[in-house]
């Protein structure tokens, strides 16, 4: 029975390259030249930490990181900017989560979009991915087309087409 998996992941090496490029840009930008703090990447926890003196500079750091990620080919929706900047002494600190895997809410949205499109496929949640199976490959391709038009809130990749 033909099937494929829907996953949401970010290549760690590309992410690290984008963050390193953002750090270099931070050193060369005139408006952020004397800024204390910076941009740090925690690879194991998939977190990017932005620190600066005030909220305006933290937002500028967000913009730098986002543009560098997009230029490296990473979808901007892979970052979760919803957390607020917290005061940490005299500095402002913001932790940006890199979304890896499909959470339950996004999985429900994906399955609901497939069911609403009335494509003859079967979708089920498996850990941090969604498995879609059907009797014909054409139906799987129709499901992929539906999901490409649907906004789930995070980037999706379609892998393991069998």
Residues 20 and 93 both lie in one domain = yes
DSSP assignments along 59-104, one per residue: HHHHHHHHHHHHHTT--GGGEE--SPPEEETTEEEEEEEEP-S--H
CB neighbours of residue 111 within 10 Å? 17
**DSSP reduced 3-state for 147:** helix
Whether the pTM exceeds 0.85: the reply is no
Q: Within this chain, do residues 30 and 84 fall inside the same structural domain, yes or no?
A: yes
Domain with residue 83: its CATH number is: 3.30.70.990
Using the predicted structure, report yes or no on whether residue 67 has a pLDDT greater than 90: yes
Domain identity same for 127 and 141: yes
pLDDT in tens, 103-152: 888 888 888 888 888 889 998 998 888 899 999 888 888 888 898 888 88
Residues 16 and 73 in one domain: yes
Pairwise CA distance, residues 18 & 152, whole Å: 24
121: left (phi over 0), alpha (psi -120 to 50) or beta: beta
The DSSP result for 14-39, as a single string, is HHHHHHHHHHHHHHH-GGGTT---EE
Give the residue numbers spanning the domain of 34.
12-98
Asked whether residue 84 falls in the same domain as residue 121, the answer is no
Residue 21 pLDDT class (50, 70, 90 cuts): very high
């Amino acid at each position: 029975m033909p099937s494929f998996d829907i996953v949401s992941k970010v290549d760690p090496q590309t992410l690290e390259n984008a963050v390193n490029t953002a750090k270099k840009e931070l050193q060369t930008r005139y408006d952020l030249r004397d800024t204390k703090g910076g941009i740090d990447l925690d690879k194991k926890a998939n977190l990017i930490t932005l620190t600066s003196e005030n909220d305006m500079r933290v937002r500028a750091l967000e913009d730098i990181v986002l543009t560098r990620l997009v230029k490296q080919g990473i979808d901007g929706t892979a970052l979760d900017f919803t957390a607020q900047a917290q005061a940490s002494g005299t500095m402002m600190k913001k932790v940006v989560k890199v979304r890896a895997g499909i959470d339950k809410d996004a999985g429900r949205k994906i399955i609901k979009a497939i069911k609403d499109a009335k494509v003859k496929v079967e979708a089920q949640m498996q850990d941090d991915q969604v498995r879609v199976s059907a009797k014909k490959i054409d139906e799987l391709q129709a499901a992929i087309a539906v999901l490409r038009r649907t906004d789930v809130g995070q980037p999706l990749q379609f892998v393991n087409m069998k």
